[in-house]
Amino acid sequence: MISVQLDWKPNAQFAGLLAADHSGLFAARGVEVEILPWEVHTDPVAGLDIPGRIAVSEDNLAIQSLAAGNDVIVLGAMLRYSPLAWIVRADSPVTSFADFAGLTVGVHVDGVTGLDYAVRSAGRTLSDVNVVDVPYDKTTQLLRGDIDACQCNGLVEPVEMRAEGSVIRVLWARDAGYQVYSQVLSTSRATYDHSPELVEKFMQALWEGWTQALAATDVTASMIVEHYLHESTDQIQHEILESERPWVLGEPGSDETLGVVDQRRLQASIDLLHENEVIPDRLDASRLLRR
């Protein structure tokens, strides 16, 4: 049994995983999979001490876990770059990360590092911002004025909000130079060493699921709404899935391989965390990769 802890609702950002689950790609390889949606305050990587657990998160959580002494390994990444972003209301005076100073900004556990980087890139520090943890209804809090900005997946919540008629603006961490991996799949070395063939079969089915999902995005969108996220619509899920295509496959002409984490890029993420004093030591990226 493999249990997969997501870092958000089971929507199109996890399309390959959901497609592999629904179409029986895992079962065909003899892999039983349980998908665990995110719950409030959940740090997906914190549960990797559970045998058979695989976490989905921004790469910084896996790196920080290794830095804290946990024997974590990265199996791959569903997104080549982080879609980490912050939403503000259309009438907000915020036009850059420098404007976050003195404001209340909602985040999740995996977004604190990106926010720290973004405000530093604008000449501010995280201590200049009132950072609060937000639950599923964060966009309601934003529109109500309880918070001034909130973390989002720039490929997801903006699409959902615009479909509801909300007028918002998006500030992308990537535009501030935050070039890290996202939807990284990590597990404990104990889980991998105990069942390497099982984990590898899971990963093979996952990438096949992504290929299948992107080959028929309309069908995939309908499947997600019918079986995993009833409160959404086919149109919303289809738009999300199409918008994330280059984030999954790479830009046209890219020679990157689906899901593969490049050691040099992972090292750059580690160095970024070290330079910003998120982790005390500069770790070697090879420690996070399968041997």
- 252 and 130 fall within a common domain: no
**Rounded (10°) angle between helices 196-215 and 15-22:** 100
- 170 and 201 fall within a common domain: no
- 54 and 101 fall within a common domain: no
- 48 and 146 fall within a common domain: no
According to DSSP, the residues that pair with 33 across neighbouring strands are: 2
- 95 and 129 fall within a common domain: yes
CB 229, CB 32: distance < 8 Å: no
Q: Token pair 């990444």 is at which residue?
A: 77
- 95 and 210 fall within a common domain: no
- 76 and 190 fall within a common domain: yes
- 158 and 136 fall within a common domain: yes
* Residue at a domain's end among 176, 197, 232: 176
Alpha carbon of 209 to those of 139, 173, 231: distances in Å?
30, 28, 23
Structurally, the chain folds into a number of domains equal to: 2
* CATH classification at residue 140: 3.40.190.10
Q: What is the pLDDT of residue 109?
A: 83
Residue type, 211: T
**What is the pTM assigned to this prediction?**
0.93
* Residue at a domain's end among 146, 176, 206: 176
- Domain holding 99, by residue range, is 84-176
Dist. CA 77–CA 57, nearest whole Å: 9
- 129 and 189 fall within a common domain: no
Q: Average pLDDT for consecutive 10-residue bins of the chain (291 residues)?
A: 94 97 98 91 89 96 95 96 96 96 93 93 95 89 96 96 95 93 97 97 98 97 97 97 93 78 95 91 94 69
- 186 and 274 fall within a common domain: yes
Tell me how crowded residue 289 is: count the other CB atoms within 10 A of its CB: 14
* Residue at a domain's end among 141, 160, 176: 176
